[in-house]
């Protein structure tokens, strides 16, 4: 093999090794992110509404956090939430989720409300970045609103009225007959 050919093969091998080391340690294995929701009915104000509680969990096994270091010095699998948008029967942003960082094995919660009593599915779409912002992903979760958030019905028992009749006082005296 000629010297120039050996240098070319060695250079290609070095480029492959350098290229591989520049990749994240778990390329192709993004974080495992789940979104769940729960609707709670509120009737205290006299106007029935829902409060939507959303949980975003980074369900990536914790052991991977120790093994995989990202390019920005943190874990490759830490997620940074960049948006949290609701769609469907109710729309809007869950702003208290945006900007949160969730490490593997942890979760964060955000709420939205009051949501009018309605029926239908509300879907939360969470956009996130990982590997120090180099990569991104999306996760979704839904909650079903069934229209059951109503004021409790109260029944009024029929009242009965008792009327007392007053009589004039009469003095009774025994009568003897002979």
Enumerate the domain spans of the chain. Answer: 31-146
pTM for the whole structure = 0.66
Closest CA to 131 of 93, 74, 63: 74
Share of the chain above pLDDT 90, in %: 44
- The Cα-based distances of 63 to 32, 59, 69, 76, 103 in angstroms read 13, 11, 12, 12, 12
Between CA 68 and CA 136 the distance in angstroms is 17
What does the pLDDT read at residue 18?
A: 37
Per CATH, domain 31-146 is 3.90.550: no
Tens digit of each residue's pLDDT (9 = 90 or more) over 117-174: 889 999 999 999 998 888 999 999 999 999 899 988 766 666 665 555 565 655 656 5
Question: Whole-angstrom Cα distance, residue 155 to residue 161?
Answer: 19
How many alpha carbons fall within 13 Å on the CB side of residue 75?
20
> Do the Cβ atoms of 87 and 103 come closer than 8 Å?
no
């Amino acid at each position: 093999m000629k010297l120039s050919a050996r240098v070319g093969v060695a250079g290609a091998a070095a480029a492959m090794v350098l290229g591989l080391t520049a990749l994240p340690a778990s390329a192709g294995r993004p974080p495992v992110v789940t979104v769940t929701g729960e609707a709670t009915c509120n009737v205290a104000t006299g106007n029935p509404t829902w409060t939507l509680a959303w949980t975003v969990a980074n369900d990536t096994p914790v052991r991977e956090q120790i093994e995989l270091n990202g390019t920005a010095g943190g874990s490759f699998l830490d997620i940074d939430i960049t948006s949290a948008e609701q769609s469907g029967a109710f729309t809007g942003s869950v702003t208290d989720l945006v900007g949160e960082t969730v490490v593997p094995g942890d979760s964060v919660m955000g709420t939205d409300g009051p949501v009018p009593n309605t029926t239908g599915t509300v879907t939360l779409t969470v956009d996130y970045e990982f590997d120090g912002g180099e990569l991104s992903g999306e996760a979704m979760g839904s909650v079903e609103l069934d229209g059951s958030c109503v004021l409790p019905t109260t029944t009024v028992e029929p009242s009965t009225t008792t009327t007392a009749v007053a009589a004039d006082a009469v003095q009774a005296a025994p009568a003897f007959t002979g």
